Amino acid sequence: MSTLRQALLGIALLAALGLLVWGQQQRIVSADSKADASAQLASHWQQEANRETGKANQLAQLLQTERNAQVSLRQTQDLLRQSLSERSQQIERLKRENQAFKNWATQPLPEPVGSLRERPAITGADAYHQWLFSGNALHSVTDQP
């Protein structure tokens, strides 16, 4: 019986060892599948990060373009202000130097021309559009209102 017992113990030991190896194998398979899932998730988030980086770069370029446009507009505005100032000074100089020009500049505008410079207080784009197309056009000299 002792040989039988030893054989049974040997078989039981081999079965326990087999179960241990099988359990370890299952853990390895489970860990591999988790590692694959984690790698796929990391890849997904890396792609997402790359897309967001691309968007950020595009926005940075757009911002730089807008800033350059603003600088250009400011320079144009400064040139226009300078030109307006020079013309205003020239008009004032002509008023001082030329009496005929001074008399002409002080006369009121003719009624049809003066009405072009008059407009009601406009609030908003819709009101401006309404006023613009309201039919207040000037009539030609030959037409009677």
pLDDT at 19: 93
Give me the residue spans of the domains in the chain: 51-99
HSE-up of 129 (CA within 13 Å, CB side)? 3
What confidence category does residue 89 fall into, taking pLDDT thresholds of 50, 70 and 90?
A: very high
pLDDT (0 to 100) of residue 139: 55
Q: Which two tokens stand for residue 122?
A: 């406009």
Residue 62 CA to residue 23 CA, distance in Å, equals 58
Residue-wise over 87-108: b if at least 16 C-beta within 10 A, else e?
Answer: eeeeeeeeeeeeeeeeeeeeee
Q: What residue type is assigned to position 15 of the chain?
A: A
**Between residues 89 and 121, the one the model is more confident about:** 89
Convert the pLDDT of each residue in 129-141 to its tens digit.
777 777 655 555 5
Q: Is the sign of the CA dihedral 61, 62, 63, 68 positive or negative?
A: positive
Q: Look at residue 138 in the predicted model and tell me its pLDDT.
A: 53
Q: What percent of the chain has pLDDT over 90?
A: 55
Which band of pLDDT confidence, cut at 50, 70 and 90, is reported for residue 100? confident
Model pLDDT for residues 31-40, shown as the tens digit of each residue? 999 999 999 9
The tens digit of pLDDT for each residue in 52-76 reads 999 999 999 999 999 999 999 999 9
**Residue 56: predicted pLDDT:** 96
